[in-house]
Amino acid sequence: MKVLVSEQIAQKGIEKLTQEGVNVDVKPGLPREELLSIIGEYDGLIVRSNTKVNEELYQKAAKLKVVGRAGNGVDNIEMEGATKRGIIVVNTPESNVVSAAELTIGLLFATCRNIPQLHNRLKERLWDRSGLKGMELQGKTVGIVGLGRIGSLVATRLKSFGMTIIAYDPYISDTRFQKLGVEKKETLDELMSQCDILTIHTPKTEETYGMIGKEQFKVAKKGLTVINCARAGLINEAALMEALKAKIVKRAGIDVLEGEPHATSPLLEFDNVIVTPHAGADTVEAQDNVGITVAQEVVSALRGEMVPNA
């Protein structure tokens, strides 16, 4: 069993593969051409979010039996190409959800209290809070789009801050809403017009891509805070920038950028936007969980055993 790990995963995951008798090559940051030239040697491939697993790759991957996504979203993996070749795709949907929810809340506090901006001023040896008055969370309404694993964790945590939680998710049952103590909104517009803070937690699909755009910002409450710790493009970046310029959006905390990885986003020009480099799952705990889980799943798939997250 030969497995290529094309992005950084936890050492514990690599150890697990080796213990299970896998011949593993770890080659993070491999140029695309090189990846394509060697992929034919491997039975398994483990990726995070930067490796595009698409038709171009499948055509060169004659022996490939399993693709392991060390993480939750599988939007960088073309499912159709995998399915038609009988390649199993596995992911680790539970392993990093707490970390993603915690970064969402971290960005919420950081944006609402201008923590990075205040820190930067002091680093410049300036004791100066002017123009950086924050906003309390207590008594505010947070609108969650997507009440799945991460959205639910965000909801339960934010409740403890005395916030009202409303959510839009047509795929979640009323019972689940009730159980979480979250008010269900039937339409996105309804949610947009009522929340002070918007946070999105959906996968990136054809249906969700660009779901928050110009039209949605038109109905938003003026002074909205926007958080995106899910996927780039769920909130249209150009529309967000327009809304920031028009002061409809007062501040934003963004962990995911269109075309990432790069450090050239125009969002970086805004003083009231905090941007992090897709760090939602980047904790020791999440990476250990993800690494071990994906390693186990890939080994099971290669052995023809049952795989829970296939």
Interface residues toward ligand MLT, by CB under 6 A: 48-49, 71-73, 96, 280-281
231 is catalytic: yes
**Count of Cβ atoms closer than 10 Å to residue 140 Cβ:** 17
Strand partners, 212: 235
In the bound state with ligand MLT, the residue whose beta carbon lies nearer, of 185 and 204, is 204
* Catalytic residue (choose from 78, 231, 251, 297): 231
Which pairing describes strands 88-90 and 197-200: parallel, antiparallel, or unpaired? unpaired
**Count of Cβ atoms closer than 10 Å to residue 98 Cβ:** 18
Question: Residues near 261 by Cβ (< 8 Å), separated by ≥ 6?
Answer: 50, 277, 278
* Catalytic residue (choose from 78, 102, 278, 297): 278
In the bound state with ligand MLT, the residue whose beta carbon lies nearer, of 13 and 280, is 280
Q: Minimum distance between the CB of residue 304 and ligand MLT, rounded to whole angstroms? A: 26
Contact 226, 240 (CB under 8 A): yes
What is the C-alpha separation between 264 and 287, in angstroms, rounded?
A: 26
Q: Minimum distance between the CB of residue 63 and ligand MLT, rounded to whole angstroms? A: 25
* Catalytic residue (choose from 7, 15, 258, 260): 260
Contact 269, 291 (CB under 8 A): no
Q: Minimum distance between the CB of residue 49 and ligand MLT, rounded to whole angstroms? A: 4
Structure tokens at 269: 């020009």
**In the sheet that 23-26 helps form, which strands lie side by side, from edge to edge?**
23-26, 2-5, 44-47, 66-69, 88-90
Q: Minimum distance between the CB of residue 297 and ligand MLT, rounded to whole angstroms? A: 14
In the bound state with ligand MLT, the residue whose beta carbon lies nearer, of 72 and 208, is 72
Q: Minimum distance between the CB of residue 48 and ligand MLT, rounded to whole angstroms? A: 5
In the bound state with ligand MLT, the residue whose beta carbon lies nearer, of 49 and 276, is 49
260 is catalytic: yes
Find the helix or strand (DSSP H, E) in which 166 lies: strand 164-168
Q: Following DSSP, what letter does each residue of 243-278 receive, concatenated?
A: HHHTTSEEEEEE---TT-S-S--GGGG-TTEEE-SS
With CB atoms as reference, the residue minimizing the distance to ligand MLT is 71
Which residues are known catalytic residues?
Answer: 231, 260, 278
